[in-house]
Chain A
Amino acid sequence: MNAEELAFLSCAEQGRLIRERRLSPVELVQVYLDRIRRWDGKLRSYITVCEESALREARAAEAEIAKGRYRGPLHGLPYGVKDQIHVKGVPTTLGTRVLRPEEMMPDHDATVIERLREQGAILLGKHNLHEFGKGGTIDFPYGQPRNPWNLAHTPSSSSSGSGIAPAAGLCSFALGEDTGGSIRGPASCNGVVGMRPTYGRVSRYGGVMESYTSDTIGPLTRTVADCALVLEAIAGHDPRDPLSSARPVPRYVDHLRSDLRGMTLAVVREIAWARHVHPEVVDAMRRAIAVLRDLGAAVEEVSLPYVKFAVPLQLLTADADVATMFLRKYLRTRWDAFDRGTRTRLAAACLVPATVYNRAMRARVIVRRQVLDALRVYDGLLSPTTVTPPKRIEAMQEKVESVEDVATRLIERRISTYPFSLSNVPTISVPAGFSTDGLPLALQIAGRPFGEAVVLRIAHAYEQATPWHTRHPDLSRTAA
């Protein structure tokens, strides 16, 4: 097996080779370091590469496994994490020029990092992101992240590097953070799997998580089975996150099946068939529905008329929560250091009256109730993850100069993902084809609170019945 083939193996396959001592973690780390050196100058998925510590940890893993102390399926696997999540001794840049170097250095690990370390996973580096994990950054301090399928197009936001790196074979898996769609968007646009777990399923401790009603940490992987493995490793109660759930964590991989007999799914009419959905996305959605029916699921349609309110409600309230933190610390005194897209967005959020915020929170409850009522009837809700194929980078920047820009630059890319962020239900994005230009398209599946096992089962069955997860970008053509 050559280095390219190794780089694109799933975590499950890499883990099996490591367990059987047919692959050394040192060799695997070296494969990724070489590829990062070769390709990431153009892709810009990493901000920090932890070469020295990764090789040290890989040698330790190799020695441990040789002594028969195999920790589990992630032992020896190199991963990257969105640079919004703390790793002791490694800067958390948050993709901004606002922070001074001494303000970037954390003195503790996030809980998810601790848990992956206990499982023997190896931190390869920290991934590029939109400033402070917000979308719409115009000028990236650590380089413009680019879509590995076509460098002129967006890798989506805000966990951009965490979508690019697994897609381009620059790590075994990644962790992202999703407030509105920041895991699912990059998963969709880069052609990988990405899951936003139920709020409370994964500890937020050690992440810079200022949208306290919506922020979640979750995996981005090349397969659904890998997503199940990583989620199981990072999920569970954490006393340091008072909003984390004490519910037991299932063995998610045990729930994966190749058929969907007995399941009833529903396409959300207002998202999937809306006027603004690109015709190629509509076609991909119709093909996905046919596959799901072939797998034994009953697929119906459901109308959720309130989801059209999700974007303004979620943006208004979540941004106001973030602005509350940033106004005092940075916005008043470091305005010029912010990216223009971020500071204008946060400034607007600072000015939302408390009375409007309160009314928006009431409306969020009502919209969420409609989504949850549908999930009492259906095992999963279906929609495209993004309503257009990945656009050119320039078209996704938050240059708001007219009311039309609000629709095309602020609202359109969030229409599919925000209803489920607002509802805080588990939602996955899984590859569902390619546009005629060769850019990835994706299916989004939302499930009941703490119903990750069912969501993963639906996504896995769909994935295994389709070829999309087996395709990888040809960097020698796109990034040469």
Chain B
Amino acid sequence: MTLTKEQVTTLAAVQGLVIPEDELENVAIRLSSWLTAMEQVEEALGAEMDRTDPIAPVYPKEDF
């Protein structure tokens, strides 16, 4: 997914954030990269993700 600078400006406004024009491209590239990566993750793991709870790994209780 490739976001435009205009889309990033709108998303930022929702968060009450004003990103200067000369840094919008930087933020757009970063966010687009993570969203593109998530598309690849969904393609590979999506079905398994549907069956997995999003539990943060902060209580390592595995039987080791």
Chain A residue total in the interface (Cβ 8 A): 55
A350 within 8 A of B: yes
User: Would A401 and B60 be within 8 Å (CB), given that A316-B34, A332-B17 are in contact?
Assistant: no
In Å, the complex CA distance between A364 and B57 comes to 9
Which label, helix, strand, loop or mixed, suits the secondary structure of the B interface? helix
Residue in chain A with minimal CB distance to B37: A312
Contact with B along A192-224 (1 / 0, CB 8 A): 000000111000000000001100000000000
Residues of B within 8 A of A424 (CB): 57-58, 60
User: Would A331 and B49 be within 8 Å (CB), given that A213-B57, A358-B54 are in contact?
Assistant: no
Residues of A within 8 A of B62 (CB): 372, 449
A76 shortest CB reach to chain B, Å: 35
In Å, the complex CA distance between A315 and B33 comes to 11
Residues of B within 8 A of A363 (CB): 41, 45, 49
- In residues 30-47 of chain B, which contact A (Cβ within 8 Å)? 30-31, 33-35, 37-38, 40-42, 44-45
In Å, the complex CA distance between A424 and B23 comes to 33
A-B contact count (CB 8 A): 135
A23 within 8 A of B: no
User: Would A345 and B30 be within 8 Å (CB), given that A362-B54, A366-B45, A401-B25 are in contact?
Assistant: yes
Interface size class of B (residues with CB under 8 A): 35 or more
B48 within 8 A of A: yes
**Is the pair A365, B54 in contact by a Cβ cutoff of 8 Å?**
yes
Contact with B along A297-324 (1 / 0, CB 8 A): 0000000001001001101100000000
In Å, the complex CA distance between A57 and B37 comes to 51
A351 within 8 A of B: yes
B61 shortest CB reach to chain A, Å: 8
Residue in chain A with minimal CB distance to B55: A365
Residues of B within 8 A of A212 (CB): 56, 58
**Is the pair A243, B17 in contact by a Cβ cutoff of 8 Å?**
no
| B interface with A by C-beta (< 8 Å) | 8, 11-12, 15-20, 23, 25-27, 29-31, 33-35, 37-38, 40-42, 44-45, 48-49, 52-60, 62, 64
| A interface with B by C-beta (< 8 Å) | 198-200, 212-213, 243, 245, 306, 309, 312-313, 315-316, 327, 331-332, 335, 340, 343-345, 347-348, 350-352, 356, 358-366, 368, 372, 375-376, 400-403, 405-406, 410, 422-425, 448-451
